[in-house]
Structure 1
Amino acid sequence: MKLHVNRDVLADAVAWTARILPSRPAVPVLGGILLDAHGEDLTLSAFDYEVSARATVEAQVAEPGRTLIPGRVLAEITKSLPDHPVEIVTDGAEAILTCGSAEFGLHTMPVDEFPALPEMPPRIGAVGGGLLATAVAQVAPSASRDDTLPMLTGIRMDISGHNVTLAATDRYRIAAREFLWHPERPDVTAAAMVSARVLVDIARTLRAGEVSIALGDGVIGFESVGRRTTVRLMDEQFIDYRSRLANTPAIWATVPVAPLVEAIRRVSLVADRNPAVRLSFGRDQVLVQAGGGDIGRGAEVVAAELEGDGIQIAFQSHFLLDGLSGLETERVRIGMDTPTRPALITDDADDPTFRYLVMSLRLGS
């Protein structure tokens, strides 16, 4: 194999592919990146049996071929190269990488031991990368990090025609985001469970262009701008989140998001081991309180509009902040029934696209 490729293009492709490499591969070849040079393209591939990544870039291929190079070493080298074109040549069991006056000889691994990557399933639609990344970021904080309950560590994706809903829960809160996309067929329906950690990474790295989504045979695929990745799906079992989010609370408060977030963060500085934040809603304001333990207490008033009776309700501060951080509007709507029932947080719109149901805490005497 012999080829020339742009330094920046190669470094970006290697970094994107190497991000899925396992820190402790079950077998050595899974720590490698496969380079496949044919025609006018260089394709870099990585696979850990759960997630695959393929990046294709333009290259001047003098001699086609394949080679398997230790991925993390290759990533460190390519991001440190001088600003010159890169030449990669294989010579026996060595891949020689030359850039300007810098030269590296890397021991290769057996190509025939590298597992075949999953085929991309049939495409079912496409969505803007920025919209997908935003939607995933809104619901991902609500996914559990407890691997003993795998169902709760994923993000549920429900597709019905032109509508997509992402949802996640850790039993203490539920987040759901709806958005429109471009389906291949207007009558398409599908459901999938994807690891929240993996989906966050994929959406973040593909946000620059339109993302094609493919689904089938227990695999979901994402493709955008020369980048292609597949993920093995989790078990589809998930809670009935729609019924839980369909409740219409009796009390609604509308509050500017930025002042409320700032107030919660300020008063939480004295929360110590008690991270609860109490919100007391009155006619024109909400009183935000925290603390009362060994350190002290904090309180701040924020303007608010109230529909219904006054109410005092408490939440874990970080749960409340996670819900508020998912909003894209300047004001938040908080729906409540009683101090002991969950509260519903939505964006300030006639038909909100983001809903966040969070458990309240029992107020002390």
Structure 2
Amino acid sequence: MKLTLERDALAEAAAAVAKSLPAKAHVPVLAGAKLTAADSTLTVQGFDYEVSQELHVRGTVTEPGSTLVSARLLAEITKALPNKPVSLATTGAHLELVCGSARFTLPTMPVEDYPALPEMPESAGTVDAAAFAAAVAQVAIAAGRDESLPMMTGVRMELSGATMALLATDRYRLAVREMEWQPTKPDAAINALIPARTLHDTAKALGPLGGHVTIALAQQTAGEGMIGFARDTRRTTSRLLDGANYPPVRSLFPATFAANAVVPVAALIEVVKRVALVAERTTPVLLSFNADGLIVEAGGTEEARASEATDATFIGDPLTIGFNPAYLIDGLTNLGSTHAELRFVDAFKPAVIHPAGSDGEVIPGYRYLIMPIRVSR
């Protein structure tokens, strides 16, 4: 194998593959990036039997061929290279990489031992890349991190006709985003539970490419299934989580509310961050609402305390409610709006945050539910 290509394109492809692979592979070849040069294209592949990545990079191929090298080492090297064309050439059991006056020799692994990547499932439809990336970012923040509860570490995708709904919860908060998409079949009705980290990384990478992303789904049977995402020279597949017993999380949203507040998002985020400096990890921040506005408070060790007032338009009886500051900031940061509307039942029931305009009108499509932390005063 011998070819020359642009440094930035190679670095991007190597980084994408390396990021998708586990830190420690059980089988050495699964830590590798497979490089295949043919027809003026370098194909970079990674696969760990859970997630696969395939990216195509244009180049000048002198000798076609394939090789397998450490994905992480390749990503680190290409990221550090000067912005000059890169030459790759296999020599015996090594890959020679030359960029300007920089020269690297990487050991290769047996390419014949590398597993074949799964085929892309059948296309279910397409969605705007930028809108999809924004929607996934809004929802993935609420997914669980505890691998002992795998169902909570996923984002549930509900496809019903021309509507796509994304849901995620870690039992302490719940995010729901609804948006339009273009199904292949107008009467499509499909549910899938996708690992949140894979979905977030994939959508984040595809969003800047613009255009539309193809979503491909293989029918789940006995808790198994696969989803694929494709855009131009890039494709990703991932196994699905078993979502057969996913809880009816939409029922967590209260049917009625007793109070609501409209607050400027940026100002509230800054206030919560400052006040939370004195809070311990498990200590909530207290939000006290009344007709005059909002006071944010927190207390920590050795009688450290903080409070700060900020603007809010509040309707209802005076209310003091406590939240995990990190969860509250996550929800506010991902609203994508200048203002937020917070709806309350009481100090002990879940609160719901909606994006809103400067006039206080709710912007439909996104809801972020957050469980309060009981406090005694």
Q: TM (normalized to structure 1)?
A: 0.93
Instruction: Give SS of 1:267's match.
Output: helix
Cα 1:271/1:11, change in 2 over 3 Å: closer
Cα 1:214/1:341, change in 2 over 3 Å: same
Cα 1:56/1:296, change in 2 over 3 Å: same
Q: Give how far 1:273 is off.
A: 5.5
Aligned partner of 1:239 among 244, 247, 270: 247
Q: Give how far 1:351 is off.
A: 5.3
Q: Which residue of 1 aligns with 2:181?
A: 181
Q: Give how far 1:103 is off.
A: 3.4
Instruction: Give SS of 1:264's match.
Output: helix
Q: Which residue of 1 aligns with 2:232?
A: 225
Q: Amino acid of the residue matched to residue 267 of structure 1?
A: V
Q: Which residue of 1 aligns with 2:222?
A: none
Does residue 191 in structure 1 map to residue 203 in structure 2?
no
Contact 2:206 2:213 in 1 (8 A): yes
Q: TM (normalized to structure 2)?
A: 0.90
Contact 1:245 1:355 in 2 (8 A): no
Whole-Å separation in 2 of the counterparts to 1:259 and 1:233: 39
Whole-Å separation in 2 of the counterparts to 1:338 and 1:186: 42
Q: Give how far 1:355 is off.
A: 0.8
Whole-Å separation in 1 of the counterparts to 2:103 and 2:375: 66
Contact 1:270 1:295 in 2 (8 A): no
Q: Which residue of 2 aligns with 1:152?
A: 152
Whole-Å separation in 2 of the counterparts to 1:88 and 1:268: 51
Whole-Å separation in 1 of the counterparts to 2:172 and 2:59: 50
Q: Give how far 1:238 is off.
A: 1.6
Does residue 360 in structure 1 map to residue 372 in structure 2?
yes
**Which deviates further from its counterpart, 55-64 or 82-91?**
82-91
Q: Per-residue CA shift, 1:113-133, capped at 9, x if unaligned?
A: 101111111122222332222
Q: Which residue of 1 aligns with 2:293?
A: 285
Cα 1:82/1:231, change in 2 over 3 Å: same
Q: Amino acid of the residue matched to residue 118 of structure 1?
A: P
Unaligned stretches of 5+ residues in structure 2: 220-224
Contact 1:272 1:295 in 2 (8 A): no
Whole-Å separation in 2 of the counterparts to 1:110 and 1:274: 50
Q: Give how far 1:270 is off.
A: 2.5
Contact 2:342 2:353 in 1 (8 A): yes
How many residue pairs end up in the alignment? 365
Q: Give how far 1:274 is off.
A: 5.5
Whole-Å separation in 2 of the counterparts to 1:143 and 1:134: 15
Does residue 325 in structure 1 map to residue 327 in structure 2?
no
Cα 1:261/1:6, change in 2 over 3 Å: closer
Q: Which residue of 1 aligns with 2:92?
A: 92
Alignment of 1:279-318 (within 5 A): 279-291=287-299, 294-318=302-326
Q: Give how far 1:246 is off.
A: 5.7
Q: Amino acid of the residue matched to residue 364 of structure 2?
A: P
Q: Per-residue CA shift, 1:11-35, capped at 9, x if unaligned?
A: 2222222222322111111111111
Q: Amino acid of the residue matched to residue 119 of structure 2?
A: E
Instruction: Give SS of 1:59's match.
Output: strand
Does residue 27 in structure 1 map to residue 39 in structure 2?
no
Q: Amino acid of the residue matched to residue 211 of structure 1?
A: V
Unaligned stretches of 5+ residues in structure 1: none
Q: Amino acid of the residue matched to residue 29 of structure 2?
A: V
Cα 1:41/1:295, change in 2 over 3 Å: same
Aligned partner of 1:216 among 213, 218, 230: 218
**Which deviates further from its counterpart, 163-172 or 262-271?**
262-271
Cα 1:78/1:350, change in 2 over 3 Å: closer
Q: Give how far 1:293 is off.
A: 5.3
Contact 1:154 1:193 in 2 (8 A): yes
State percent identity of aligned pairs: 47
Whole-Å separation in 2 of the counterparts to 1:79 and 1:320: 35
Instruction: Give SS of 1:207's match.
Output: helix
Instruction: Give SS of 2:24's match.
Output: coil
Contact 1:271 1:295 in 2 (8 A): no
Whole-Å separation in 2 of the counterparts to 1:264 and 1:7: 43
Q: Which residue of 1 aligns with 2:47?
A: 47
Contact 2:254 2:350 in 1 (8 A): no
Whole-Å separation in 2 of the counterparts to 1:227 and 1:295: 54
Cα 1:342/1:41, change in 2 over 3 Å: same
Q: Give how far 1:350 is off.
A: 4.3
Q: Which residue of 2 aligns with 1:12?
A: 12
Say what the alpha-carbon RMSD is for the aligned residues: 2.0
After TM superposition, what 4+ stretches of structure 1 lie above 6 angstroms from structure 2?
A: none
Q: Give how far 1:85 is off.
A: 2.7
Q: Which residue of 2 aligns with 1:37?
A: 37
